[in-house]
Amino acid sequence: MNKKTINYLTIGLLSLFFAGMIASCKHDDDEVLTPTDPVVEPFKGLDSVYTIERFRVLSIPTQLSENLTWSINDSLISQNSELEFISPKATTYPLTLKIGNNADAKVYHSKIRVTKEAGVLSKYISKVFDFRPAVGQFMNEIPEYNQGNTAVNMLQKANASLVGSNSTMISLGGFGGYVVFGFDHTIPNLDGRDFKILGNAFFGNAANDPRSGNCEPGIIMVAYDKNKNGKPDDNEWYEIAGSEYFKNTTVKDYSITYMKPNENKTPVAGSEDWQADIEYIKWTDNLGNTGFKTRNVFHSQSYYPLWFTDASYGFTGTRLKDNFYDQSGNGSYWVGKSYEFGYADNAPNNDEASNIDISWAVDRNGKYIKLPGIDFVKVYTGINQEAGWLGEVSTEVAGAYDLRLK
Ligand SMILES: [Ca+2]
Ligand SMILES: [Ca+2]
Ligand SMILES: [Ca+2]
């Protein structure tokens, strides 16, 4: 290699280097400037055909403010400026869009071709995004905490528990404790109930009310991945308005704070001279109440998530009326009443009450919102109650599945 060649090479490499720098600068600019939502062209009529896989949402934005009527055959399917269409069936639908009112309405025709998906879809949970439990008697046990585990490790364990068809149970602890999970497709919102959340609820054989027993209702929130970025964003969440939502016994925006306990202030948990610790974990709420989560004789490990290092932590959400009561009158037989519909871990897994209709979703003002489907679910414990010797009421989640994907 002569000197000239080396010079050319150097210049070439330098040019590449600068080109690379420019490219990377440009890339950075792009990242800053890229809008979250795609730019929408002005409406120029419908395409002759749209193609989408089943269990995916097809969006046809028009940006029009006139009266719109989207229909398939004779069925009206939407009156929004943006059509969001999803189908569980691979078939072709004739689509009609009518713009404006009767006499001078413009009518456009198209087709939506729904194809079978390329890969294999799972009807079960595909990913757990977040796990932040409250304090409770199953804390650090399901899933199991090992010395040195971090929040990342515990999230992996929640994934190992909940993903797929062989899911096992995790406990969310007392009020507010939550888990967030998602699916590998959009669960369509069709007529009736669309998905099921599994728990460990059962009705008591000796309960006077046949729909009472081990029912520990959890609030359900749902999110449709509107911006299609593969994760739930804050503005995509809606609460499922269960049977108690509109009652004045339900407290919205209830906040609770749990204080880390001094594990050494009583005799060693489980030892001979140890009694149930009735002043174990102090809590305060935004209504001015304060109380203690007790430690019972059945569970001697710490009830405070040991991977949380803060001296206190808290939650805000919808609080349901206490549902456990002492049927025996002497403290020996406590049962929890199942609420009618719309909660997790509130009825046996084979009961219709464990199935959820996406149409029950409401916005922050309690107004029903029509979602085409959902990609993510959040469940949190909706009760703040100590049920005698049973301890705190805590929602368990043991999986979930799409009722539409067969
Ligand atoms: Ca539905
Ligand atoms: Ca999103
Ligand atoms: Ca339970």
pLDDT at 148: 97
pLDDT at 11: 44
- Is residue 156 packed enough to be buried (19+ CB in 10 Å), middle (13-18) or exposed (0-12)? middle
14 vs 280, residue with greater confidence: 280
Report which bound ligand comes closest to the CA of 376: 2
pLDDT at 266: 63
| Average pLDDT over every residue of 225-232 | 97
| Average pLDDT over every residue of 367-378 | 98
Handedness of CA 79, 84, 87, 88 (dihedral sign): negative
Which is nearest to 319 in space by CA: 405, 234, 242, 223?
A: 242
pLDDT(54) > 60: yes
Report which bound ligand comes closest to the CA of 195: 1
State the distance from the centre of ligand 1 to the C-alpha of 370, rounded, in angstroms: 10
pLDDT(8) > 80: no
pLDDT at 275: 65
Least-confidence region, from 30-34, 226-230, 310-314: 30-34
Report which bound ligand comes closest to the CA of 396: 3
- In angstroms, rounded to a whole number, what is the distance separating the alpha carbons of residues 322 and 324? 6
State the distance from the centre of ligand 1 to the C-alpha of 75, rounded, in angstroms: 17
Q: How confident is the model at residue 196 (pLDDT cuts 50, 70, 90)?
A: very high
- CATH superfamily entry for domain 50-115: Immunoglobulins (2.60.40.10)
pLDDT at 298: 84
406 vs 305, residue with greater confidence: 305
| Average pLDDT over every residue of 41-65 | 94
State the distance from the centre of ligand 3 to the C-alpha of 242, rounded, in angstroms: 18
pLDDT(44) > 60: yes
Q: What residue spans define the domains of the chain?
A: 50-115, 127-402
State the distance from the centre of ligand 2 to the C-alpha of 151, rounded, in angstroms: 23
CB 253 within 8 A of CB 404: no
Q: Which residue has the tokens 């809606």?
A: 238
pLDDT at 27: 47
Q: Which helix (H) or strand (E) holds 311?
A: none
Q: How confident is the model at residue 194 (pLDDT cuts 50, 70, 90)?
A: very high
